[in-house]
């Protein structure tokens, strides 16, 4: 039996994290989702929980380079006073990375699916010249 994929979400504002957690839970109900509280240290949580996917405004080195954490989504921080705008992100999957200009739940779901495949021992094949996030689906 394959363990449930683990996701650690640490994005601000908190409402964004809660909405993302809700959406992931609806689309991937077997996923273990942890929300990081404002007083919790992200790097310590990464080392303690060993998530398959980290979604954060600033992904710590433990998630970028650690032996268990090769999948992450680093979401741009929301800045007040700028009005409505697209929210960009960098997505990294097992050493391959790509930037997206308007990150959505579908990008996080795709990264989670790839992380789950890797955790289950499936061979990941990367297509040359195809944006990383388009390969997730």
Q: Which residues contact 57 (CB under 8 A, 6 or more apart)?
A: 10, 11, 12, 74, 75, 76, 77
**End-to-end Cα spacing for the chain:** 24
Give, for all 137 residues of the chain, the pLDDT tens digit.
Answer: 567 899 999 999 999 999 999 999 999 999 999 999 877 899 899 888 889 999 999 988 777 776 555 799 999 987 766 555 788 999 988 777 889 999 999 999 999 988 888 877 655 554 555 555 455 44
Across 63-100, b (16+ Cβ under 10 Å) vs e yields beeeeebbbbbbbbeeeeeeeeeebebbbbbeeeebeb
The span from the CA of 19 to the CA of 25, in Å, is 10
Quick one: tokens of 105?
């739940």
The counts of H helices and E strands in the chain are: 5, 6
User: What are the residue ranges spanned by the domains of the chain?
Assistant: 6-122
Top CATH class, 6-122? alpha beta
């Amino acid at each position: 039996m394959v363990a449930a994929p683990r996701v650690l979400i640490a994005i601000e504002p908190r409402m964004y994290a809660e909405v993302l957690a809700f959406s992931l839970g609806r689309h991937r109900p077997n996923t273990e989702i942890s929300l990081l509280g404002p007083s919790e240290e992200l790097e310590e949580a990464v080392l303690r929980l060993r998530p398959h996917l980290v979604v954060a405004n600033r992904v710590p080195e433990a998630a970028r380079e650690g032996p268990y954490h090769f999948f992450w989504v680093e979401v741009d921080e929301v800045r007040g006073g700028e009005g409505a705008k697209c929210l960009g992100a960098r997505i990294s999957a097992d050493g391959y990375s790509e930037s997206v200009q308007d990150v959505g739940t579908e990008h996080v779901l795709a990264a989670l699916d790839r992380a789950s495949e890797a955790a289950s021992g499936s061979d990941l094949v990367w297509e040359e010249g195809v944006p990383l996030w388009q390969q997730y689906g």
